[in-house]
Chain A
Amino acid sequence: MALLQISEPGESPDPHQHRRAVGIDLGTTHSLVATVRSGSAEMILDEGGRALLPSIVRYLPDGAVVVGEAARAEQADDPENTIVSVKRFMGRGVADVAKYGALPYKFRGGAGMVGIETSSGVRSPVQVSAEILKVLRERAERALGGELFGAVVTVPAYFDDSQRQATKDSARLAGLNVLRLLNEPTAAAIAYGLDHRSEGTFAIFDLGGGTFDISILRLTRGVFEVLSTNGDSALGGDDFDMAIATHWRSRHRLADASGRDTRRLLATARQVKEALTTAPEADAHVTLSYGQKLHLHLTRREFQEMTAGLVQKTFAPTRKALRDAGLRVEEVDGVVLVGGATRMPHLQDGVEKLFGKPALKDLDPDQVVALGAAIQANVLAGNRTGDDWLLLDVIPLSLGLETMGGLVERVIPRNSTIPAARAQEFTTFKDGQSAMAIHVVQGERELVADNRSLARFELRGIPPMVAGAARIQVTFQVDADGLLSVSAREKTTGVETSIVVKPSYGLTDDEVARMLQEGFKHAEGDRDARALAEQRVEAEAMLSALGAALAKDGELLTREERGTIDTLMAALDVARGGIHHRAIKAAIEALNEGSEAFATRRMDRAVSGAFSGRTLDEVASK
């Protein structure tokens, strides 16, 4: 017989109508699944009573796949075919993964996402992630007694289009109906916000296995608004393990360890790190592949000293996020700790000192994200009626397009809430221009060349018109999952074209972080570059307009006047080839002044031409 859950008053579901919905935290090191039972979010445990599924997939020669704890156990013996931290490769190309340093995998691939050569063939990160999701789906279906209606899958706030798309694809591959992709910090806020009914401004400090995200959120009567996000996408608990392993390697003079030994050392480092959360010192024994036996020892103080720099690395993005949100540290009402790495006592101390208040950590930091996702999934599946809370999320980097002179026109600024749709009108630059190239870029810099190119397409069939007469509306739409589509439409004729932005692979996390930082660092240089490009465009437009006017109405000028204008034009032509925007501006102004009389005379001629031979009535009725 079906087992029942307790409903809210008046909301008992009719038979066969309850929808099984789950929240999934697809993590770098661990993945979890949760659901809402009898009104509260709970983890779904496996047969062994464990919530955490190690995000590790091992491929065997016969095509069989081992996921989780069993794969982890054999990780050290078969590193080439045991894929760990696959999340880092999601939506990434060969050039991107090369930056992660030495990895035991054989990567394959051309322009698109990387493939990993395993003993059962080449597997893409999407397929590897799907194996993890499949295990979680089966676990949930056994626990809930039937097929799932849908799932909310979380992604780091920093994930770009291609990484989100890859995540969605792998969920679909695992047989899951994706109700929504949700930013991890936002999910954490849901878990705390709704369970505790808190209001105010919160910082969500999420240090996971491989990524660090800081988000500033405002919660007001059940409405979540993400004020800003920042982070360091190459910083996580794994780096702390690495620090310990590196320390041991130099202390015990281990030269280049094999892939297997590296794994063994890292796995041991992790155990020791976890032990140091509660104990002042920890010991471990490791036997290396060539028979050497090591006795490894570490005290909490040593650990804290060697990783103080890593803790410090979280502070700059945190301050930046606060600045973006326009907040001082004192204005943050609470700090939520998320991610297993926030269990480390010296990290907690550091965060609490930075914010000047104790952090919120009542929920298990490993589970917070999945619990929040489950609550969101329950709402999206329609299991809670009368819910009026709204979830607002933001895009991490500005979206815009290229305009004349290689400048970026921002259409959707970063930190805009999504789903979002913004339209902006553009026009043609040249007379009779019949097509317009639309180049979609992502980033914070002023020049196109410094930002990431996402897509290019062309709007054709613009009817011949004078420069500036065409009205081209470009619409950017970002859906609730953070995926972008762009359309362009010429308003007088209705010709339209559009594109869904699906780059083969997008920005690496490093690039996102670097681009954000450069945006701040280069603010001044960017401003000058922008001014220069603007003045050049202006100069070109002026020279070409004046040239056309001189060809048509040149006889209105005396030879002397004509000579003055020609000199000024030549001076501007020289100035625009230089790099000083002020010089160009001065030349433009001089030419403007010098050609004023000419412009007035042309105007007079045009007006008298328009009016000559007509009655006043004819002119007035025009």
Chain B
Amino acid sequence: MSRITGIGLTPFGRLPGLSTLDLMSRAATDALADAGLERCEIDGLITGYSTTHPHLMLSTVFAEHFGLRPAYAHAIQLGGATGFALVMLAHLMVEAGAARRILVVAGENRLSGQSRDAAIQTLAQVGHPTYEVPLGPTIPAYYGLVASRYAHAHGIDDHAELAVLMRANAARTPGAHLSEPITAAMVRESKSIAAPLRLLDCCPVSDGGAAFVIERDDPARRGPGIRGAAQAHTHQHVSAAASLTAFGAGDAAARALAQGGIALADIRYAAIYDSFTITLAILLEEIGLAPRGAAGRLAREGHFSPGGAMPLNTHGGLLSYGHCGVGGAMAHLAETVRQMRGEAGPRQVEAPALALLHGDGGVLSSHVSLVLENGR
């Protein structure tokens, strides 16, 4: 087993004057301090990517900048699934004995480092360069197509309650990008972006950074343990998806749970990727945390609220804490660790014994699930 012994999470939002390396450094500094470690005690470094700092070797660019000389360095690119993929690789490496203490770090000035048009255009390029991008789709359009199919299957074309819940959670979280309260009516009346998705169904583009220290299990060290980690990759482009209602999330989550011999019914906290309300609804349902077609209803009934049966993204998720790229989903893990430690302040729920985390990249095409057990 591996343990998460340190977390670092910057505020998300508009943070002018900070570069990718600045944000990564701030998060890494906080994670090392939290773990009580010095730079020289880190022997592995795993980073993501940054659209504002494209580089062939971001891991070693960061190592030099931050002052690390790791025995292993690696940068991963897996879209929105990257954050949890970094954690999974660190987990596998320390379990295999290839490294002892790995720093996992990501950051990006995705909002301040480029124009909003440039950000939207860069992200749209994940479409097929020949068969999709020339038609002018956007990331919301890819998910709008998925949402249309969901509406066709279930007769439900909005998940405003999920956006309202994420905003309410963010209002209790220092550093959240968006914290002004919203109502379901406001979500339904916000301007259309890619039907049926409206502005408040979409996460914002943010600046931010996040980091973790992941170590081999050691009786002298404290922190939540990673009991399972699994991936599934079913396609890349939405035109090539075998189904727009069934993806690889359920498969990845089931294998991650099976590794730890843990039943879904034993999970007490969920941290699920929420780039759009439809993303969150589909992932919750596919993983089995909500019946098909029922994610919105359960949210409305309080099931996913901090006081409900399955607290969800209590920091506000991508939809309201914000989305800075690779670091976006890492905030879900930082929050899960805080909840397990009992350090979540006014939004503290009963410290969960077991949590399930899930990230997706592309258009619900790349999936990473993690199962966390509360540490000593």
A binds B: no
Interface residues of A (CB under 8 A from B): none
